[in-house]
Structure 1
Amino acid sequence: MEPQRWLKKGMMVSLLLVSLAVEVLSADNYSRHDFPLDFVFGSGTSAYQVEGASNQEGRTSSIWDAFAYAGYAHGANGDVACDSYHKYKEDVRLMVETGLDAYRFSIAWSRLLPNGRGSVNPKGLQYYNNLINELISNGIQPHVTLHNYDLPQVLEDEYGGWVSREVIRDFTYYADVCFREFGDRVLYWTTVNEPNVFALGGYDQGNSPPQRCSPPFCATKSTRGNSTSEPYLAVHHILLAHSSAVRLYRRKYRDKQQGFVGISIYTYGFFPLTNTKKDVIASQRVRDFLVGWIMEPLQHGDYPISMKTNAGARIPAFTNRESEQVKGSYDFIGVIHYTNINVTDNSDILKNQLRDLTADMAAKILGQDLFSNEEYAVTPWGLQQELYKFKHLYGNPPIFIHENGQRTASNSSLQDVSRVKYLHGYIGAMLDALREGSNIKGYFAWSFLDLFELLDGYRSSFGLYYVDRDDPELKRYPKLSAIWYSQFLKGRKTSNVGTIELKKYPSLVSVGQLFE
């Protein structure tokens, strides 16, 4: 759908800030009741970003710890993070007060299996059992991710982690432990979070864990790795490990546990910079390299033709048996979406003999800087377009929007009007896609708390709740977005949210005062 049509439909929220009261007005008249009864609304985090207790009770280091300690997150780390390891009951209480149906979180592999395999850490097992039980006893559905940028460092040191086929065996073992220990209560499992961006940052540019890359493609000072081949190798092994875990679950657990296993993919709205044929083709090619890279093997058992053409022998080939194992190895797809990009052709770069994944795309990508704390433009037609493509290109699979949210600079202001505008626009876009037949099952706002961000440490925030890092107790405070989301979840029309009154407090307001 064109942006002009969105504007005519009034999909952009008008917000007026008056003194300490914020009135939310919109011409778009939808509510929670416009969604199916079984549609799931939630919010999410991941282990290293919120748990803290990184050196406590048996947890060992992960590749994300090493990345943070190397100073790549502006000197910050997740040693304490939001201390959800100790404050999980308080956080679940906030979820209940907000009205969440579900909570998406990840398990720290190195907390559960400190050696990457072998014996289970009883303290880690107890923590995740306690968290899951607390969620369920409060009527909140757990959605669990097994790997989110945090492979145990011991496996990285031993054989190179995801660039080795050995990781398939170890990941399958780890998944088996999780299915066995938690599968009686957890119905929704995501194997690997956004493997496309994980490989691009971790194995091509070197600006995310495990910071592997090779000159001249490195965005950091890392000197280990091979940017021309390792991104393809890492995703290849991720797909094989994912499909191995799915095969295990279907064979060993599904009949009894009745759960679902999927994988999540980072997406953009992909738009050609001009209407020229070259830019249109380049836009599709970039999408092949970022989304088709994961979806085409899952759907058809092989990589997109454009990838195999441009990467050649550097992209691994599936055997017939592997192709059959990967094809169809999902019960749902998690879509991660924040913003749009414009694409213009750059085919001349294919003349270079030395190319990395980015160069193989043969395009220039124009968009917002992932390394800044600049707010995202509210352009929800990009999400709607992507949902349309999943419907028509991949057989309309069940989809959960796993991450979607607004980035702002970290500060103590609770009046995050731009995040309210963002959530309103994108939830409205999702509703339009749902009405057009997309098979969407749920939506998770990113993120529940202001947490440790992969690229930005604590300089930027996505949270519905502010975490006061100057307070020894790391107190949580609801932002305007938490209140808006809560009122939406409790059935109020978005055009009739009315005045959200921050009472007489100029900055921080206690949870109890706002949820009376």
Structure 2
Amino acid sequence: MNQILSVVTIFLALASSGKCSNVYSRKDFPKGFAFGAAASAYQWEGAVDEDGRTPSVWDTFVHSRNQANGEIACDGYHKYKEDVQLMVQTGLNAYRFSISWSRLIPNGRGHVNPKGLQFYKNFIELLVSHGIQPHVTLYHYDHPQYLDNEYGGWLNRRIIEDFTAYADVCFREFGNHVKFWNTINEANIYTIGGYSDGLTPPGHCSSRSICSSGNSSTEPYIVGHNLLLAHASASRLYKQKYKDIQGGSVGFSVFALGFTPTSSANDLIAVQRAKAFLFGWMLGPLTYGDYPDEMKRTLGSRLPVFTEEESALVKDSSDFIGVIHYLAASVTSVTHVKSQSDPGFFTDMGVSLKSMKLCLFSLDQYAIVPWAMEAVLEYIKESYGNPPIYILENGTPMKQILKDTPRIEFLQAYIGAVLNSIRKGSNARGYFVWSFMDLYELLSGYDYSFGLYYVNFSDPHRKRIPKLSAHWYSAFLKDNTTFLGSQGIAQLQSNFSSPY
């Protein structure tokens, strides 16, 4: 998930845990529902300076902040064949991953790197040969550093043309096998983290104690606007040039919190404002062609304006919505005058997202509140025309332990919540666990992990070992109901023997 949630100070809701006690099976889901797992290029591939790949803003950011990095990560670049075999053994019918723009097109435009191209072709074809459906993300926070150096990256509208050309290469070279394209990964949180709070690449914000450059009051909205236009441009290209031949679809993903008011009537209003900013910022233009009125009133001239042509381009440009969901937030209305000395997205939103801990990763796992998943899917259904939805990330962080029973309880509850939402009319069509294996995580490095498979990062061979959760998910995917429900989990736990 990239741990972007440290960007927000959030409340891990202490409401009734809502753990699912009802046993369900895979057969209860609609025919064709995709069950998979996920990773991203920088977090999994490694090989950052091999075979023509150039630095991305992610490389630059982690080195500038002296953070742990993904230079080797899981070494997926060299171990992808082994990893596909693990996916087959697990029973995945879908796998979500991203393409490294700077591996495929090192300077961001122009020359295509043949070795990078061949790597992705080999990987995608291997997935397909084993009946695993590739879901490809084009942008996962990692545009080439070259473009930032040349013209400022996403702050400059020139990137719309370069991103569209990059997407064109991907559609042309991989589209015969790839039917699901997600253009931008959780665009709202990427923008807040990178251009409002400065905690993620490229590390822009107004605070000079944190960032060397940036303007938190304007840059997030400029970048968000350009992301929407770049997505829409790539989507139009696909529809005009490839869709009739390849038969795929193009979507856009957002990070989604389940909001609940803290106490007062004002907090109920604040929840609606929070939804307008976090959801409506991106889903409003994609559905209705414009930003929410709440954002327009609050931001005034700081919010870019769509031309008539741009509005028509963005509206209905997503065939599906990708949802990244992990947590709930308790919302309190902020009544004091907004501080000009503390600009940024959350100041503009005018709400406080309460938290028990300042740092997300002071907890070993997230609270299990599946009502939040149902609330997110219900809100999108009711507010944005019930589009097709793929839950592209859901999971919980823990220390790298093999007997990860709390992760199983989390996954069982949330998959059950997705099923409940479908029964209530949600158009959810797929669910992906974050993550298939332990990865490099942006803000926690290798201290906490989301993986179904343990990776020994101190081993040069990066050995993979299935955790208890991998066995549980595999049993679910193969429609073995033995380990479902609390009694089944207890049985699985008692049967599990660690290789150590």
- TM bin (shorter chain): over 0.9
3-state DSSP of counterpart to 1:191:
strand
Match of 2:227 among 238, 243, 246: 238
Q: Which residue of 2 aligns with 1:500?
A: 492
Contact 2:104 2:116 in 1 (8 A): yes
Distance 2:496 2:202 in 1: 47
Alignment of 1:276-295 (within 5 A): 276-295=264-283
Identity %: 51
Structure 1 residue runs of 5 or longer lacking an equivalent are 14-26, 509-516
Q: Which residue of 1 aligns with 2:5?
A: none
Alignment of 1:396-407 (within 5 A): 396-407=386-397
Q: Which residue of 1 aligns with 2:206?
A: 214
Q: Which residue of 2 aligns with 1:55?
A: 49
Structure 2 residue runs of 5 or longer lacking an equivalent are 1-12
Calculate the aligned-residue CA RMSD, in Å.
1.8
3-state DSSP of counterpart to 2:336:
helix
Q: 1:103 to 1:504 in 2, by over 3 A?
A: closer
Q: 1:193 to 1:60 in 2, by over 3 A?
A: same
Match of 1:347 among 335, 338, 348: 335
Q: Report how far residue 67 of structure 1 moved.
A: 1.1
Q: Report how far residue 290 of structure 1 moved.
A: 1.0
Match of 1:12 among 9, 16, 19: 19
Distance 2:495 2:345 in 1: 52
Alignment of 1:111-190 (within 5 A): 111-190=103-182
Query: Could you tell me the TM-score, scaled by structure 1's length?
Result: 0.90
Q: 1:92 to 1:506 in 2, by over 3 A?
A: closer
Alignment of 1:39-438 (within 5 A): 39-71=33-65, 75-215=67-207, 221-274=210-263, 276-350=264-338, 352=340, 355-367=343-355, 369=358, 371-374=360-363, 375-409=365-399, 411=400, 413-438=401-426
Q: Report how far residue 5 of structure 1 moved.
A: 11
- Which residue identity is paired with 1:161? G
3-state DSSP of counterpart to 1:405:
coil
Q: Report how far residue 186 of structure 1 moved.
A: 0.2
**For residues 285-310 of structure 1, what are the alpha-carbon distances to aligned partners after superposition, in whole Å with 9 as ceiling and x for unaligned?**
11111111000000111111111111
Contact 2:19 2:370 in 1 (8 A): no
3-state DSSP of counterpart to 2:433:
strand
Q: 1:41 to 1:81 in 2, by over 3 A?
A: same
- Which residue identity is paired with 1:243? A
- Which residue identity is paired with 1:415? K
Distance 2:463 2:421 in 1: 38
| Residue 469, structure 1, aligned to residue 457, structure 2 | yes
3-state DSSP of counterpart to 1:341:
strand
Query: Could you tell me the TM-score, scaled by structure 2's length?
Result: 0.93
3-state DSSP of counterpart to 1:461:
coil
Q: Which residue of 1 aligns with 2:429?
A: 441
Distance 2:242 2:496 in 1: 54
Q: Report how far residue 52 of structure 1 moved.
A: 0.3
Q: Report how far residue 111 of structure 1 moved.
A: 0.2
Q: Which residue of 1 aligns with 2:10?
A: none
Q: 1:353 to 1:307 in 2, by over 3 A?
A: farther
Distance 1:461 1:295 in 2: 30
Distance 1:455 1:5 in 2: 27
- Which residue identity is paired with 2:336? D
Match of 1:458 among 425, 446, 463: 446
Q: Report how far residue 460 of structure 1 moved.
A: 0.9
Which protein has the bigger strand share? 1
- Which residue identity is paired with 2:338? L
Q: Report how far residue 349 of structure 1 moved.
A: 3.0
- Which residue identity is paired with 2:82? E
Q: Report how far residue 4 of structure 1 moved.
A: 12
Q: Which residue of 2 aligns with 1:24?
A: none
**For residues 439-498 of structure 1, what are the alpha-carbon distances to aligned partners after superposition, in whole Å with 9 as ceiling and x for unaligned?**
010000000010011111111100000001121110000001100000010102223746
- Which residue identity is paired with 1:442? G
Contact 1:155 1:161 in 2 (8 A): yes
Q: 1:307 to 1:221 in 2, by over 3 A?
A: same
**For residues 197-237 of structure 1, what are the alpha-carbon distances to aligned partners after superposition, in whole Å with 9 as ceiling and x for unaligned?**
0110100110000001112xx6x621211111000000000
3-state DSSP of counterpart to 2:438:
coil
Distance 1:487 1:330 in 2: 33
Distance 1:28 1:370 in 2: 33
- Which residue identity is paired with 2:65? G
Q: Report how far residue 127 of structure 1 moved.
A: 0.2
**For residues 40-91 of structure 1, what are the alpha-carbon distances to aligned partners after superposition, in whole Å with 9 as ceiling and x for unaligned?**
000000000000000000000000001111235xx31111000000000000
**For residues 69-124 of structure 1, what are the alpha-carbon distances to aligned partners after superposition, in whole Å with 9 as ceiling and x for unaligned?**
1235xx31111000000000000000000000100000000000001000100000
3-state DSSP of counterpart to 1:408:
coil
Q: 1:504 to 1:49 in 2, by over 3 A?
A: closer
Q: 1:480 to 1:252 in 2, by over 3 A?
A: same
- Which residue identity is paired with 2:246? Q
**For residues 272-324 of structure 1, what are the alpha-carbon distances to aligned partners after superposition, in whole Å with 9 as ceiling and x for unaligned?**
111x2211111111111111100000011111111111111111000011011
Choose 497-506 or 113-122, whichever is displaced more: 497-506
Q: 1:117 to 1:418 in 2, by over 3 A?
A: same
Q: 1:483 to 1:396 in 2, by over 3 A?
A: same
Alignment of 1:478-493 (within 5 A): 478-493=466-481
Q: 1:256 to 1:506 in 2, by over 3 A?
A: closer
